[in-house]
Structure 1
Amino acid sequence: MILEDYLRRDAELYADKTAVVCNGEELSYAALYQRVGQHVETLRANGVQAGQAVVFRASQDIDFLVHYFAIHILGAVAVPLECDVPEERFHDICRLVDGATIPEGTADILFTTGTTGRSKGVMISHRTIVADAENLIDGQLFSHDLVFIICGPLNHIGSLSKIYPIILLGGTLYLLEGMKNMEELFRAFDYPCQKIATFMVPASVRMLLQFGEKRLRQYVDKIDFVEMGGAPLPPSDQRLLCDTLPKSRLYNTYASTETGIICTYNFNDGVCTPGCLGRPMRHSRVFISDDGRVACQGPTLMTGYVGDEEKTREVLHDDTVFTADNGEISAEGMLFLSGRKDDVINIGGYKVAPTEVEDVALSFPGIKDCICICVSNPMFGNALKLLYQVAPDTTVAKRELAQYINTHLESYKVPRLYEQVTEVKRTYNGKLDRKAYHL
């Protein structure tokens, strides 16, 4: 069965149940499936055929779901792009997928954000979608009566993948257009139901804790779980979130477009182990390669990069995706990351993972966001520099910040240079945009 087979089953078994809520509109499963069926006929009349790649701009609404499901039902391949993708880039991708060989069974082509290099089109199979759904259902206890709030972009795996388990179980999706308006998020939390859940990147969690902690505590009995992904949540934010939502499951998840959904860890377990990403889920296996990289196996893996067989062979071989993440596995089978291979900074022969510096800096009072980069300094050679953003109406003394970091890290990991900035550059789905700081 593919995802749309489960959607058809939902329309039969749960015809009157609310399938999706968005912008004040609610659609039952029967109504949603009927709308999808009508759109299938529209696409067919427009000449869309099985195996064809359909490139489109992703919206955060019911029309996205209708278009996405209809493409799959026709046997075509969905290629959702960010809503504001430049016209030239849009046409470049159209030409790329039109001229590429796409394996049979491919459901989606998802383009990565390209934070550490050129954006790549990752081919995802129908089998992968169902395996990801089953991993999430088993690993995070999704349920039929859950309302899942999606506030991230639907052209990326982090938010798109949450559609999968909801459809498999006949739950309810609540779609929001990002985290720009926190009041809309809290209105979603007020939706009349027994339990809700959501997915956020660490930057969104930090914003919610800084500006909405008191409001968040009002939903302590309603929030079933929150999943964090894209990057590990800083330890200080982990502890605060546990204190704010003591009854909720709070997950750090290891996933990527290339690997699918791999590991998860409920850090609200009374231990709150920093940096832990948990054990592999039902359909996944993880090991550390000889050069220290995280390697993943199982049916959640990508098929390959569209139009780039050479790059595919570099990353995917022996039924294994070899990631750019450095990591280790504890004696208990828990996965821990120690930074990305491309992000590690060499300072005087020492290897420094910038995430370690950033986690400590973020725990300093008044720091809203930060990024640790490598700069060339005439006095020190390569040196660590911390760019940091402070919370409103807050002052942070550079000397005090440096002394704080020095008490938590080895001396070679302490930045020599500090600069307060008005904004730390991030991609639109919340990841630090390290590529923007490469000089």
Structure 2
Amino acid sequence: MDNRRPWLQHYPPEIPKSIDYDEKPLYRFLLESGDRYKEKKALHFMGKEISFGELLVEAKKMAHFFQSKGLKKGDRVASMLPNCPQTVVTYFGAMLAGGVVVQVNPLFTERELKYQLKDSGAKFIVCLDILLPRVSNVRDETDLEHAIVTKVSDYLPFPKNIIYPFIQKKQYNIVVKVEETDDTHIWKNIIESGSEYFTEIDIDPKEDLALLQYTGGTTGKPKGVMLTHYNLVSNVQMCTAWMYKLEENKEIVLGVLPFFHVYGMTTVMNLSIMFGSKMILLPKFDPEQVLKTIQKLKPTLFPGAPTIYIGLLNHPNLKKYDLSSVEACISGSAALPIEVQDQFEKITGGRLVEGYGLTETAPVTHANFIWDKRINGSIGVPWPDTDAMIVKEGTTEELPLGEVGEIAVKGPQVMKGYWNREEDTNKSLKDGWLLTGDMGRMDEDGYFYVVDRKSDMIIAGGFNIYPREVEEVLFEHTEIQEAAVIGVPDPYRGETVKAIIVPKKGQKLDEQQLNRYCRKNLAAYKVPRIYEFRDELPKTIVGKVLKRQLIEESVAELEKDKQVN
């Protein structure tokens, strides 16, 4: 047994410990699938289906357009779109042209958009018509030279394409008329009358960037993570090796995770394009729509986040739907409560396992085995060719087995560095190891456990308290739907533990009841001293709870109380 890598002994024979990765540009997956599966359906979007052959033609037209407008190798192309066919076409079209994709969250405010466009130096942006006013308002303060504007209705089947503009007007109270100019272009015209001819650019997969993916910016300003073609290719090839029971060209993948987040981009979009799988594109998470979609279109693979699975499990009509087509789910973005895993598996008959990764690792580094040994509460073991260890914070000094420290990872999926941020890069990358900023431990079998984000740890009365441990206990309470645990200032303990609770529909909870429950299950110093009840928790688009916002709100509340008293 490899004592440094005890997890390797648990690998089933079907999963290779090492993979011979393709050293090629990521867009080669589309060139190959577009040829091999020309007639097979690649995308399903609100009733409209597009084949791999058609998708490749549109990506080539987009590549031609970018190059005709002066795009040079390495120029950045911003994509500000929800999950829709245009997202996939833009992503691969930009790479075919030699560009670097910059994913932009369509929900961004002007301030957030301006920051990301300025920081990345993007010269092109592709956006929805309803987002154009936001783009126009910041354009003069950025390096943008061209905007390509599309509508959701561009890919809707009849009669949805006729009805949708009226729904959009009612929903967003906005109608944008887009006129073609020298620097504003209409998507439909490019696709309908554009040329497929483009010049293939010489790419060095290990050195050349495919993507600038911005971190969420939970600590300070968002940073552009530089991911090479090789980072993305290796991670998606690890993904297919891990899910060894999936059959090429036969799977249907549910795309509810946003593709502008690296997790959805790799586990849904890149995986499907490489594997010849049909992708079902959903522009947003609507529990009822997801349930209907699973029953009707029968996806076999459903990557998600805990809040997505929780949202489905708590839907009042859940029992009406047949979810038995789902065979495999990898959950990421946040800790997966064991209760949620068990319930979801009972309902689907499939397997739901927790994984782990970061934007900086394209994104996956660890997961539980889907069909083999897994440990509840663990993020699993490192993927092929991925090394990991527990180190003393901020160093590469390995800690003894079982001790809590910072998780460090190394592998072909680890980023090149942060865009224009040498100091941050040097802090995070040491001797090829990425210091994740997550606190965790490894057991003797090589299974890893995330204890918490370094920045989330609560120090109360000299004790280190990891919110995740308290949250796991709260999630086991039958009347709690969601819970978030944070540290708030306390004059005596330095910090104290606060729990923000979303009760299940129709349930009434009180502090005394929860206090008794927590004291039964947690050491006294870990028990929340403050409870707050809410209808919902603030979250990012991929379902990560915005703890920073909860802390700021709680601190403001404490300050207000101080002034009153």
TM range (shorter): over 0.9
1:171 to 277, 285, 303: 277
Q: Deviations over 1:153-206 (max 9, x none)?
A: 211111011222222221111110121x2232123213456x511111111111
Once residues 493 and 423 of structure 2 are traced to their aligned partners in structure 1, the CA distance between those partners, rounded to angstroms, is: 39
Change (3 A) 1:301 1:401: same
- Give the secondary structure class of the aligned counterpart of 2:455: coil
Contact conserved, 2:79 with 2:87, CA < 8 A, in 1? no
Query: 1:124, CA displacement in angstroms?
Result: 0.7
Query: 1:213, CA displacement in angstroms?
Result: 7.7
Query: 1:268, CA displacement in angstroms?
Result: 7.4
Query: 1:58, CA displacement in angstroms?
Result: 2.6
Contact conserved, 2:243 with 2:370, CA < 8 A, in 1? no
- Give the secondary structure class of the aligned counterpart of 1:3: coil
Residue 368 (structure 1) aligned with residue 481 (structure 2): yes
Query: 1:212, CA displacement in angstroms?
Result: 5.9
Provide the residue aligned with 2:367 in structure 1.
264
Provide the residue aligned with 1:153 in structure 2.
258
Residue 411 (structure 1) aligned with residue 514 (structure 2): no
Once residues 461 and 377 of structure 2 are traced to their aligned partners in structure 1, the CA distance between those partners, rounded to angstroms, is: 26
TM-score calculated relative to the size of structure 2: 0.73
Provide the residue aligned with 1:351 in structure 2.
464
Residue 15 (structure 1) aligned with residue 38 (structure 2): yes
Once residues 497 and 485 of structure 2 are traced to their aligned partners in structure 1, the CA distance between those partners, rounded to angstroms, is: 7
Change (3 A) 1:99 1:79: closer
Q: Deviations over 1:197-253 (max 9, x none)?
A: 111111111111111684487222x111111001121122222223333x3121211
Amino acid at match of 2:84: D
Contact conserved, 1:250 with 1:268, CA < 8 A, in 2? no
Residue 242 (structure 1) aligned with residue 355 (structure 2): no
Contact conserved, 1:361 with 1:367, CA < 8 A, in 2? yes
Provide the residue aligned with 2:170 in structure 1.
none
- Give the secondary structure class of the aligned counterpart of 2:327: strand
Provide the residue aligned with 1:47 in structure 2.
70
Change (3 A) 1:431 1:399: same
Q: Deviations over 1:255-298 (max 9, x none)?
A: 111123111114776x8633211111123111111331111111
List alignment gaps of at least 5 residues for structure 2.
1-23, 124-205, 394-404, 556-565
- Give the secondary structure class of the aligned counterpart of 2:43: strand
Residue 200 (structure 1) aligned with residue 304 (structure 2): yes
Contact conserved, 2:329 with 2:351, CA < 8 A, in 1? yes
Contact conserved, 2:64 with 2:97, CA < 8 A, in 1? no
Provide the residue aligned with 1:37 in structure 2.
60
Q: Higher strand proportion, which one? A: 1
Once residues 305 and 164 of structure 1 are traced to their aligned partners in structure 2, the CA distance between those partners, rounded to angstroms, is: 22
1:308 to 417, 421, 428: 421
Report the identity percentage: 24
Once residues 101 and 257 of structure 2 are traced to their aligned partners in structure 1, the CA distance between those partners, rounded to angstroms, is: 18
Provide the residue aligned with 2:89 in structure 1.
66
Provide the residue aligned with 2:434 in structure 1.
321
TM-score calculated relative to the size of structure 1: 0.93
Provide the residue aligned with 1:183 in structure 2.
288
Change (3 A) 1:272 1:411: farther
Residue 384 (structure 1) aligned with residue 488 (structure 2): no
Q: Deviations over 1:31-60 (max 9, x none)?
A: 110111111112122222211011231321
Change (3 A) 1:387 1:267: farther
Contact conserved, 1:372 with 1:386, CA < 8 A, in 2? yes
Contact conserved, 1:238 with 1:272, CA < 8 A, in 2? no
List alignment gaps of at least 5 residues for structure 1.
none
Contact conserved, 2:374 with 2:380, CA < 8 A, in 1? no
Once residues 86 and 31 of structure 2 are traced to their aligned partners in structure 1, the CA distance between those partners, rounded to angstroms, is: 17
Residue 252 (structure 1) aligned with residue 354 (structure 2): yes
Contact conserved, 1:71 with 1:78, CA < 8 A, in 2? yes
Provide the residue aligned with 2:387 in structure 1.
285
Residue 5 (structure 1) aligned with residue 28 (structure 2): yes
- Give the secondary structure class of the aligned counterpart of 1:211: coil
Contact conserved, 1:197 with 1:224, CA < 8 A, in 2? yes
Once residues 239 and 371 of structure 1 are traced to their aligned partners in structure 2, the CA distance between those partners, rounded to angstroms, is: 20
Change (3 A) 1:328 1:381: closer
Structure exhibiting the larger radius of gyration computed from Cα positions: 2
Query: Once superposed, which parts of structure 1, at least 4 consecutive aligned residues long, lie more than 6 Å away?
Result: none
